[in-house]
Structure 1
Amino acid sequence: MTVPATTPEQVTGAMHRWLERAVIGLNLCPFAKAVHVKGQVHVAVCSASAFGDVLEALDAELTELLAQDAEQRDTTLLVVPQGFDEFLLFLDLVRAGERLVSRRGLDGVVQLASFHPAYVFGGADPADPANASNRAPYPTLHLLREASIDRAVAAFPEAEAIFGANVAKLRDLGADGWAALGVGPA
């Protein structure tokens, strides 16, 4: 299901390609380009495949993100290339990560988003190209600063329209168009 890789460098390279070609290239997230260009996106690769170990890595990345000024590190992608190929198992990990954020008292400070090569929105057909808006080469936990989200949304007056525009764009692109990007499964 995931893109094969043998080293953290290969995983990081695949994630940067996805970020540049899909997220920024297709403008799936109009806020991503600015932080990427400024070098404020940190990609961390977690080689663990057990829940507890991944949650420890997530906790460490939370600490590291908040220890740095947003001008240095605005967001973190924690990539988990092993052990979470099954989408439903990954969703359990996401829920555990959200509980970790809450236990640390970081609700309203940090938001946890997620990406997965087999991402399917609730009730959607797995073959719907719109699912690609949350598909990445590897299972990924995305730590976002709420303050940065608030600033970005304030600068983008119709932020609620992003999802609908992405659905239309990805359906027009189709599975073959997504595959041509070379960023992972459609």
Structure 2
Amino acid sequence: MSEESVVQATRNWVEDVVVGYNLCPFAKRELVRDRVRFVVTAADNEDSLLQALQTELLRLDDEPETETTLLIHPHVLQNFADYNEFLDAADGLLAYLDMEGVYQIASFHPDYQFADTSPDAAENYTNRSPFPMLHLLREASLEAAIDSHPDVDGIPPRNIELMNKLGVEKMREVVFACHQNSPEAGE
């Protein structure tokens, strides 16, 4: 799959799932303003992914016009357990770069599974994406968005309720459709 197709499938997912279902009430504004950077890394091992993560964190530091970055890594950490373990290394990199409190890393994966849920629980689709990715967020912007939201604590339970209402089959179809509407889908 080409880089263009990976980006388009991810963009479709952000537009159709994250924004379309209002899973993150803060996402639409930055997407409309074109302040979301979609980047695909060719990393095929954890070390090269950490290097790509460092590059993107430093880039965010240098580019205040970019609000957030989705670092998509389709060639590494396909297994969710391995991905989940890698998040500790990603947080360790934030500490090493002295960027704790400046940036935060949110996690999305095709097989995302919250603790104490079954693999087939619909609520996992709040964090299930077409490809494994790391979402790099500016902590100050996140805090400002949270402070301005009337019911930030209500977001997760509302999302869980919505996913359970829509169901696993519907959400599988929606995420699958994100791939179908990318450039190589017709090939």
TM-score (norm 2): 0.92
Cα distance in 1 for residues equivalent to 2:44 and 2:82: 11
Cα distance in 2 for residues equivalent to 1:24 and 1:36: 9
Shift of 1:62: 0.1
What secondary structure does 2:78 align onto?
coil
Q: What's 1:3 paired with?
A: none
Identity %, equivalent residues: 35
Aligned residue among 14, 17, 23 for 1:19? 14
TM-score (norm 1): 0.92
Q: Do the aligned residues in 2 keep the contact of 1:136 with 1:183 (CA within 8 Å)? A: no
Q: What's 2:185 paired with?
A: none
Bigger Cα displacement from structure 2, 139-148 vs 172-181: 172-181
| 2:24 is the alignment partner of 1:29 | yes
| 2:67 is the alignment partner of 1:74 | yes
Cα distance in 2 for residues equivalent to 1:157 and 1:104: 33
Aligned residue among 88, 96, 109 for 2:102? 109
What secondary structure does 1:144 align onto?
strand
| 2:170 is the alignment partner of 1:146 | no
Q: What's 2:162 paired with?
A: 169
Cα distance in 2 for residues equivalent to 1:73 and 1:58: 15
Number of aligned residue pairs = 177
What secondary structure does 2:16 align onto?
helix
What secondary structure does 1:43 align onto?
strand
Cα distance in 2 for residues equivalent to 1:83 and 1:98: 17
What secondary structure does 2:167 align onto?
helix
Query: Where does structure 2 lack aligned partners over 5 or more consecutive residues?
Result: 180-187
Q: Over aligned residue pairs, what C-alpha RMSD do you find?
A: 1.0
